[in-house]
Amino acid sequence: MSTRSKRGAILKGSVAPMLFVAISLASSGANAACTGPGAPSDTQTKCLTAVQIPGNPLRSFDISWVNPTRSEYYLADRSNAGIDIINTNTLTFQRTIGGFVGVKLNAAGTAVNNNISGPDGVTSHGRWLYAGDGDSTLKVIDLSPSSAKNPIKQSISTGGTTRVDEMALTTDGKLLLAANNAEDPPFATLFRANGDAPTSSTAILSKVVVSNAIVPAGAGLSIEQPAWEPTTARFYVSIPIIANNPPGCNFSGPITCDGGLLVVNPATLTAGTNTIGAFDPTTNTGVVPLHRCGPNGATVGPHENLLLGCTPQNNPSNTETLVINAENKNQTLVGNITGSDEVWFNEGDNRYYTGSSRACGTPNTCPDAGPPAFPGFASLGVIDFTSVLIEKIPQSSNSHSVAADSKRNLIFVPQVAPKAVVGSGGDITPVGAGICGSNSGCVAVYKSGAPQGNGNNQVD
């Protein structure tokens, strides 16, 4: 989520005044999971169960990831200062890997400062899990049983003062690109990663910045989620707002500029800092201007298509989601779904899933208090591989993270705890408590409803 978007999701109230209310809610007894607006009976995608996370209620979390081969789901859980691991076969909580900075408050102590809280971005390959922290470090974690007592093998500073956020690995797990989204100007770091090696030797290879003419310094702009596309052998990185797109637009103040897609060829990067400018079709590198989209999330689907999570938190005019082809850069808009942070393509059922915390549209229609109508607040978006919206399923407000297990066709969506429990920024709707069957937040598990024969048949 961009710096500007994160500010919109920052918690504005202290938890302490809510303690009595939280106790009252907890003592009232838990409801059965998968009830209410978040578990409709008329959707293809069905709420299956809810996995409870021990420890603090889910006040703040970020990106999630699934490794289907290991049957594991990973959640960057700032509330409990660690990476939560859920077994996707048994749908049970396994453990939390600590060692992260956790929730950090603003100077007044009244709100979460997402820019320095952690963990944040997370991805994995084989036994190796990579996670960004709020102190501008990349944590390299060994998931093998022999490292259970000391799983963090490296903590590598990117040289910034704010979090290492979203990231992506190449298919072989040997290169990793991670974004420091909250720096000004923002930058990305290319790492040599571990692949399938038995020991960790992750190291910084180079730094990537965007030309000041495209992402001007001092404007609080951002770069967001990278994705690796193997056919073109490029990283594609969402940029929420770029200058002069369209010409004469505002990139600060009332935003009228759309975003861009940064195309990075890791084979051409050199040691030190690499500045990337406007898109060059002859090299397939540079920043591609987007139409009617200020994206946060990015995921790679079939036919070299990427789905981008456009959001009105970046450009208030955004009302759709964008699919762009990595080879020819053709752009297609998906109507009636917007406001996404993390997005995911599940090759098991050929469907895209969106964590659309701002599915209701502009901030003025996404209030921080008061009961919004259902559906249409935060949603789990379900889109097929032809870019057709299938359905939207209501979620807890501020629910922005999603990941899918392609072997089991299960979709995991973490839910924030109610506002009465964690303060402003918590769920202001009954949706999350109904999904979770508790008032502590949870990870909701949905089962894909793809028609028979569609699953496990990825269209290449």
Q: Per-residue pLDDT averaged across 174-194, rounded? A: 98
Q: What is the pLDDT of residues 49-59, one digit of tens each?
A: 999 999 999 99
pLDDT for 18 beyond 50: no
Is position 456 within any domain? no
pLDDT for 111: 79
How far apart, in whole angstroms, are the C-alpha atoms of residue 227 and residue 441?
28
Q: What is the pLDDT of residues 100-151, one digit of tens each?
A: 999 998 888 877 899 999 999 999 999 999 999 999 999 999 999 999 999 9
| pLDDT at 7 > cutoff 50 | no
CB 271 within 8 A of CB 206: yes
Domain presence at residue 414: no
Q: Which region among 257-266, 305-314, 352-361, 433-442 has the lowest average model confidence (pLDDT)?
A: 352-361
Q: For residue 104, give the amino acid letter.
A: K
pLDDT score of 106: 86
Over residues 226-252, the mean pLDDT reads: 97
Window from 31-45, 66-80, 263-277, 283-297 with minimum mean pLDDT: 31-45
Specify if 198 maps to a domain: yes
pTM of the complete model: 0.90
In a domain, 254, yes or no: yes
Residue 451 in domain: no
Residue 408 in any domain: the answer is no
Own/partner long-range contacts of 106-112 (Cβ < 8 Å, ≥24 apart) = 106/10, 109/14, 110/12, 110/13, 110/14, 111/10, 111/11, 111/12, 111/13, 111/424, 111/425, 112/10, 112/11, 112/59, 112/60, 112/78, 112/425
pLDDT of residue 361: 59
Encoding tokens for residue 1? 């989520």
pLDDT of residue 116: 97
Q: Using 50, 70 and 90 to split pLDDT, how confident is the model at 369? A: very low
Question: Residues 37-44: what's their mean pLDDT?
Answer: 95
- Identify whether 441 is part of a domain: no
pLDDT at res. 371: 44
User: In this predicted structure, what is the pLDDT of residue 31?
Assistant: 52
Average pLDDT, the chain: 89
Q: What does the pLDDT read at residue 5?
A: 36
Give the number of domains in the chain.
1
What stretches of 252-396 show up as alpha helix (H) in DSSP?
A: none
Over residues 384-418, the pLDDT tens digits come to 999 999 999 999 988 999 999 999 999 999 999 99
Percentage of residues of the chain with pLDDT beyond 70: 88
Range with lowest mean pLDDT among 403-412, 418-427, 433-442 = 418-427
Q: Is residue 70 part of a domain?
A: yes
User: Domain of 62?
Assistant: 3-395
Q: How far apart are CA 355 and CA 230, in angstroms?
A: 24
CB-CB contact of 169 with 146 (8 Å) = no
Quick check: 375 pLDDT over 80?
no
Task: Kindly report the CATH number assigned to the domain that includes residue 288.
Answer: 2.130.10.10
Query: Can you read off the two tokens belonging to residue 319?
Result: 């009302």
pLDDT at 365: 52
